[in-house]
Amino acid sequence: MINVLQQQTNRFKSAIVKECVREIVRERLSGLRYDPEEVPELSRSLAEGIKDKVKDAGFDRYKLVVQVVIGEQRGQGVKMSSRCLWDADTDSYAEDVFINDSLFCVVAIFGIYYY
């Protein structure tokens, strides 16, 4: 029923996903200043872009959930954490953080195996 072999070969690899995310986030956000009017659209498009890119990476048995949080950096403290109910054997997540002088961006991708 569960193709274990496939599972093993085509697993959600955090490192690869993280690299994808890092690349796209660096490209889109470097040197950007926080603009409250642009950020909602930006985060949405960023999430779409990341999702598409990760889909291309070929985790075809995975449902992807992409969460992008962009916030302004004004010296405040920020804590983000996540908790999942999932099958730890197959499901995984990747996260990447981008920070510049003006904003921080946290991208979390959860890959849920689709049996």
Partner 1 sequence: MHSDKKITKEDTWRPADLRKHIREEDRGDPYANRRDDNERKHRGGESIERRHRDPERESRRQREKPRERESTRERRDEDKKDRYAERRKEGSQDRRGDKERDREKRRERDRFKDENKHGDIYRENRDRKQDREEKHKRERDKERQRDKEKEKVRERERHNEENRDKRREERDKERRREERDRERERERRRHEESGERRRDQSGKHHREERDRHKYDYEDKRNDKEIQERHGDRKHSERKEERECKEKHKEERERRHKERGHYEEKRKHDGESREHRDLKGSSEEVRHHRGDREQTEGDKHRDRRHRDEEDTERKRRERRHRDEEDVQRKHRERRHREEGEPEINNRDKTNSKKSSSDKNDEKNMVETEVANDEDLADQKYEDDFEDYEEDFEEMDESTNEGEDEKELLHPEVGEEREELTARRRKEIEAIQRAMDEENERVGTVQSRQSTSREEEDGPKWSKGSEKNENRASQRGKFIDFVAAKQREVSKKVATKQKKRSAELLRLIDLDFSTTVSLFDLPPVSEYDMYIRNFGTANTKQAYVQCNEDNADRDVQTEEIEMCEKWTQHPPEHGGACGDPNLSLEARDKNMNDMNFDSQRLAAFLRSASQVMIVLLEEDQAERKSLRKLNSQTDTLSFSDGSLQLNTKLPFLYGRQISLLHFSQVQRHTMMSIHMPTMKPSAVRLDSCTIICIWNIWEPSRPQKVLVYESEVQCCCFSPGKAILVFAGTSVGSVVLWDLREHASNHYSLKIGEDEWTFRQPTFSTDAVMAGSGHFSSVTSVEVVPSTVAGAIRPEVPLLASEEELSGLSFQLASLDESGVLNFWVVVELPKGNEAGSPTDLGLRPGGKVKLLHSSSLLTAERASPRGAMKTGPLQSLLLKFLPTDSNHFFIGTNMGLVNHGTSHGLKAPPKFYRCQEVGLRPVDITSVHFSPFKQHLFLVGCGDGSIRLHAVSHEQPMAEWTDGTAGEPVVSLQWAQTRPTVFCALDAASNLHIWDLLKNDTQPVVTERMNADRVTAMALFGDSGQQNTYSGIALAHESGKIEMQYFTRSLTASSSAEEEKLESMMTEAF
**CA-CA distance, 112 to 115, in Å (whole number)?**
9
- The two three-digit tokens of residue 98, written as one number: 């981008």
Tell whether residue 97 is a contact of partner 1 (CB under 8 A). yes
**CA-CA distance, 13 to 23, in Å (whole number)?**
16
Do 70 and 103 form a contact (C-beta atoms < 8 A)? yes
**CA-CA distance, 82 to 24, in Å (whole number)?**
22
Tell whether residue 5 is a contact of partner 1 (CB under 8 A). no
Residue number, 5 or 88, with CB nearest to partner 1? 88
Residues 56-85 that bind partner 1 (CB under 8 A): 69, 73, 75-85
Q: How far is the CB of 40 from partner 1 (least distance, A)?
A: 19
Q: How far is the CB of 88 from partner 1 (least distance, A)?
A: 6
**Count of chain residues binding partner 1 (CB under 8 A):** 27
Residue number, 2 or 35, with CB nearest to partner 1? 2
Question: Which residues are registered as beta bridge partners of 64?
Answer: 111
Run of H or E including 25: helix 14-29
Q: Which residues bind partner 1 (CB under 8 A)?
A: 1-2, 69, 73, 75-89, 93, 95, 97, 99, 104, 106, 108, 115
